[in-house]
């Protein structure tokens, strides 16, 4: 596959990017090298290669779910600059 200015412009339009003429020339070369690399990989015989599903032999490794103690509501609110009995008071940041 040949990468030309039309393809680079189409990709730029789809991604809503604008490139200078120098950047387009650079991207054209980069894309051509990438496509050449992928085409080279397509030449390999992968008929006896199993698909890679996981990068490691580990499968669904989860930690044990354990309940641990945490601070109480009173302890959390104790250092707050402003608080009620249940909540932190914060300044309003959304204007209508």
**CATH number, position 22:** 1.10.20
Is there a domain that residue 94 lies in?
no
Q: Give the confidence band of 23 by pLDDT, cuts at 50, 70, 90.
A: very high
Asked if the structure places residue 24 within a domain, the reply is yes
Residue 26 has pLDDT above 80, yes or no: yes
Number of domains in the chain: 1
Within a domain: 66: no
Strand partners, 88: 83
User: How confident is the model over 13-22, as pLDDT tens digits?
Assistant: 999 999 999 9
DSSP H helices in 1-96 = 5-14, 21-42, 73-78
Q: What is the mean pLDDT of the chain?
A: 87
57 pLDDT above the threshold of 80? no
- Domain assignment present for residue 26? The answer is yes
Tokens 């109480």 identify what position?
72
Which CA distances in Å does 70 have to 52, 53, 75?
41, 38, 10
Could you tell me the residue range of the domain that residue 32 belongs to?
5-42
């Amino acid at each position: 596959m040949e990468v030309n200015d039309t393809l680079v412009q189409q990709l730029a339009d789809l991604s809503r990017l604008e490139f200078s003429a120098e950047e387009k020339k650079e991207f054209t070369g980069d894309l051509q090298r990438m496509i050449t690399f992928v085409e080279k990989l397509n030449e390999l015989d992968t008929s006896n290669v199993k698909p890679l599903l996981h990068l490691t032999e580990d499968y669904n490794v989860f930690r044990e779910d354990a309940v641990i103690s945490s601070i109480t509501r009173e302890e959390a609110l104790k250092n707050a600059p402003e608080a009620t009995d249940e909540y932190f008071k914060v300044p309003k940041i959304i204007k209508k």
